[in-house]
A and B are shown apart, each in its own frame.
Chain A
Amino acid sequence: MKVITAHNLTKRFGSFTAVDGISFEVEKGEIFGFLGANGAGKTTAMRMFCGLSRPTSGEATVAGFDVFTQQEQIKRHIGYMSQKFSLYEDLTVKENFTLFGGIYGMKPSQIRENFGLTVGRLGIEKYADTLVGGLPLGWKQKLAFSLSVFHSPEIVFLDEPTGGVDPVARRQFWEMIYDAADKGITVFVTTHYMDEAEYCDRVSIMVDGRVEALDSPRNLKQKFNADDMYGVFLYLARTAKRS
């Protein structure tokens, strides 16, 4: 089943074409890596899929809803985690989850139940009533991810979720992503870390607003005759005219 489809999706700002006719499909339960240099158009593309920005032309659906006309329905069926681990620091862990559960229209009983499961899985039951501001960065980031899948969305969009986090925490974070994917949540993730790209089922690489390569990490390495994803990325990113 396809949960994301894009066909010639384009976004222009004035005369600047940020996203230039990208086309691809993402399967349910897939971990889809969305790579590209800074300014390649990743974030713009992601914002269109999240219903935050209207495409200029092309077609796309997310969770079966049209990105032009059904942005509200899309927002109900996705989770989103921004680059800054967006939790409210002056709220406790529990208050953060109660807030977002409420915003996504979950019932209080459902929120309680899910919250119990979440803190149990993270092993932080005794910090449920601690202010988020006092927690270590690695925890905040795991909490932010848990928050983005708290309402059991069909797809979760992660925008550079591991920036500034140490390698051990990143490894643990990816285990959480695998858990989510096992439960059937599709993961759409942008990253700058090439080792993380290796963890993805399939990877697309954007250059100057276009998708220049799309395949499994294994096939990509073969095709571009590189030892690792870093080699593939450099080979493609070198052709960029922007940046």
Chain B
Amino acid sequence: MRRFASFVKKEFIHIFRDRVTMLILFLMPIVMIVLFSYAVTTEVKCIQTAVLDLSGDFATRKIITALENDGYFQITRILHSPNELQTVFNDGKINLAVVFSENFAESLHHGTGASLQLLADGTEANSAAMYVNYAQGVLRGCLFDFNRLDGAAPVINTNVKMLYNPSGKSEYNFVPGVMGLMLLLINAMMTSVSIVREKERGTMEMLLASPLPPFQIILAKLAPYFTVSAAVLAIILLFSRFMLGVPIAGNIFLLLGLCLLYIFVALALGLLISTIVNSQLAAMLVSGMVLMMPTMLLSGLMFPIESMPKILQWLSCIVPARWFIAALKKVMIQGVGFENAITEFAVLGFMAAFYVALSLKKFKIRL
């Protein structure tokens, strides 16, 4: 036991002496959450809008007022001729233009089809789609009012409510995502780099020639990263709960159990990488390309899995973070119980068992 304890102590010295890495580890999740939720935001704020009103009647004015009052649109340009449209988009100061046809109110009243054109800057396709969506929402509301005034046939007024995330905050999506990324980073990347460093420096030979059983060497290498990831996990949860107001709706023990399972998968992956490669650089590259990239792109952190091509959807099934993030959303945000996330738990459990078995086998062979 004394042998094991002195080795674990050394591992902690390695980590804590590397102040810069420590600082990065603890600040990174916070910076990532803040950056992701502000920069990669899918919320729409302050749409710069230009209006070309060829009709200028009460209906068009009502729609313009409705847009202004909506809070998302800022009408910065009033245009007078269609020729100006190209210029304002070229200047890049406008996200959206609303064009009303002539005799708008009259056509509307007679039901001959009043026409309105929405022009959006398509260079940012996602945002453009969002702008158009918002504008159409406002237009639908106006149309509903016009119909009521006219006493025409009532149209359906939709009332939308977003469950679990009433204000549509993107933090709700990014907090689980960042947790998935950070736990993988610490446990897979850092563990593999630290084991490979011993190989590279020749200290692994020395340890293997010592009376310390190989299994204990591995266990001691994993222990500090496990501790650090627990601390980082606590920071993320506290930060998102108290600074961002993301609720922890579900059972906290179920949540921690889920994280534990995921940490096991990540540690096993790190161990596996360390048995395959022989240099720290290679360990970094492999964990960066094979683990982090798919986690960023295929886990649902940035792009919804449902809207990916079928083949990428299948591919995403082997990304552990996909299952972790999905389960985390259920357990943390929706607050449902274990029975609703049983698939995710089962997949992660299987992955943990598979990778642990594989990496232990590989480690044995190398001896």
Question: Is there contact, CB below 8 Å, between A103 and B3?
Answer: yes
Contact indicator A105/B10 (Cβ below 8 Å): no
Question: Are B14 and A90 touching (Cβ within 8 A)?
Answer: yes
Contacts of B136 on A, CB cut-off 8 Å? none
Pair A82/B202 contact, Cβ less than 8 Å? yes
Q: Contact mask A51-91 → B, CB, 8 Å, 1/0?
A: 11100000000000000000010011010111111111111
Contact residues in A for B207 (Cβ distance below 8 Å): 103
Contact A95 B210 (CB under 8 A): no
Q: Given A90-B14, A91-B10, A105-B2, do A100 and B210 touch, yes or no (CB 8 Å)?
A: yes
* B367 and A52 form a contact (CB under 8 A): yes
Contacts of A72 on B, CB cut-off 8 Å?
211, 213
How many chain A residues touch the partner (CB < 8 A)? 30
Number of contacts between A and B (CB, 8 Å)?
Answer: 75
| Contact present for A102 and B205 (CB under 8 Å) | no
Instruction: Give chain B residues whose Cβ lies under 8 Å from the Cβ of A103.
Output: 3, 6-7, 207, 210-212
| CB–CB A98/B6 < 8 A | yes
Q: A91-B10, A99-B10 are in contact. Are A75 and B210 (CB under 8 A)?
A: yes
Asked if B18 and A90 make an inter-chain contact with CB atoms under 8 angstroms apart, the answer reads yes
- Mask: chain B, 1-25; 1 = CB below 8 Å from A; 0 = not: 0110111011001100110000000
In the complex, residue of chain B having the shortest beta-carbon distance to the beta carbon of A111: B6
- The answer on a CB contact under 8 Å between B202 and A83 is yes
Among the listed B6, B209, B211, B213, which residue makes an inter-chain contact with A99, where contact means beta carbons less than 8 Å apart?
Answer: B6
Q: Tell me which residues across on chain B come within 8 A of A230, comparing CB atoms.
A: none
A147's closest neighbor in chain B, by CB?
B206
Cβ–Cβ contact A75 & B205, under 8 A: no
Nearest CB of B to A236, in Å: 28
Other-chain residue from B3, B17, B18, B206 in contact with A82 (beta carbon distance below 8 A): B206
Contacts of A178 in B (CB 8 A): none
Q: Is A50 an interface residue (CB 8 A)?
A: yes
Residues of B within 8 A of A139 (CB): none
The interface bits of chain A over 212-241 (1 if a CB of B lies within 8 angstroms of the residue's CB, else 0) are: 000000000000000000000000000000
The reply on B107 being an interface residue by CB < 8 A is no
A 102-123 to B, binary, CB cutoff 8 A, 1 in contact else 0: 1111000000000000000000
For window 174-211 of B, CB contacts with A under 8 Å fall at 201-203, 205-211
Q: Which chain A residues border B2 with CB–CB below 8 Å?
A: 102, 105
Q: In the complex, are the beta carbons of A88 and B203 less than 8 A apart?
A: yes
- Is the pair A75, B10 in contact by a Cβ cutoff of 8 Å? no
Choose among A52, A80, A87, A105 the residue that contacts B3 (Cβ–Cβ < 8 A). Answer: A105
Q: Give Cα distance in the complex from A101 to B9, angstroms.
A: 13
Q: Which one of A76, A84, A105, A157 contacts B201 once the chains associate, using CB atoms below 8 Å?
A: A84
* Chain B residues, Cβ within 8 Å of A100: 210
User: Please, which residues of chain A bring their CB within 8 A of the CB of B209?
Assistant: 50-52, 75, 78, 80, 157
**A52 engages B10 (CB within 8 Å):** no
Give CA–CA (A88, B7) in the complex, Å.
12
Q: Which of B7, B9, B14, B205 is A80 in contact with, Cβ under 8 Å?
A: B205
Bound-state CA distance A82–B207 (Å) is 11
Contacts A/B (CB < 8 Å), 15 sampled = A72-B211, A78-B209, A82-B202, A82-B205, A84-B201, A86-B201, A86-B205, A88-B201, A90-B14, A90-B18, A95-B13, A99-B7, A102-B6, A103-B6, A105-B3
Q: Which 10 pairs of residues, A with B, have the shortest CB-CB distance? A: A102-B6, A84-B202, A80-B209, A86-B203, A82-B202, A86-B206, A82-B205, A86-B202, A75-B211, A76-B211
Using a CB–CB cutoff of 8 Å, the interface residues on chain A facing chain B are: 50-53, 72, 75-76, 78, 80-91, 95, 98-105, 157
